[in-house]
Amino acid sequence: MTKIAIIVGSTRPGRIGRAVADWVHLVASKRTEAEYEVVDIADHGLPLYDEQIPAAVGQYAGDHTKGWAEVVAGYDGFVVVTPEYNHAPPAALKNAFDFVYAEWANKAVGFVGYGAVGAARAVEHLKLVATELSLASVAAQVTLLIPGDFPSYPEFTPQEFREAELERVLTQVESWSKALATVRAA
């Protein structure tokens, strides 16, 4: 069975990202083509990148890095839930991408962003990071807007049409994850 992680990209106290990730999981859990799990980077205790040797070399020293590598390696694809801070993704999320390298390669990634502009700029930034890590970014994405999807901020109440948008993301991530399995096996 294809395994896909829903990554909670914010570690900020009072964050709304976990509620968004739980909604993604609720919708995804109704699907039968893949198994979905929430992976909260806040649970992994990653410090600011502290490895002496670059991740691309694959010689991880820290136990926290080795643990994170094992988590990332265990999935065939990812749905990243991210806010946008100052036109960029949260530092904790970028840091989580930077910690490991080969474990991301030849897998699919989709994005669910939230914020004043639906985290569109943060997602564009992360797509560049994904390319460097040999992650295949799918075209579909969800851009949740504070005025429409959080009418009683910080309470999350997605608009009805958002589920159809999310279904497109999930379908593409599942499809690409399965297709890339042959590349990973080679």
- Residue range 14-54, pLDDT digits in tens: 999 999 999 999 999 999 999 999 999 999 999 999 999 99
Low-confidence ranges of the chain (pLDDT < 50): none
φ and ψ at 7, to 5 degrees? -90, 125
Report how far residue 168's alpha carbon sits from residue 33's, in angstroms, rounded to the nearest whole number.
14
Instruction: State pTM to two decimals.
Output: 0.98
Q: Which domains does the chain have, with CATH numbers?
A: 2-185 (3.40.50.360)
pLDDT at res. 7: 98
Report how far residue 32's alpha carbon sits from residue 171's, in angstroms, rounded to the nearest whole number.
11
Q: At what angle do helices 162-185 and 17-28 cross, to 10 degrees?
A: 80
The 3-state DSSP class for residue 139 equals strand
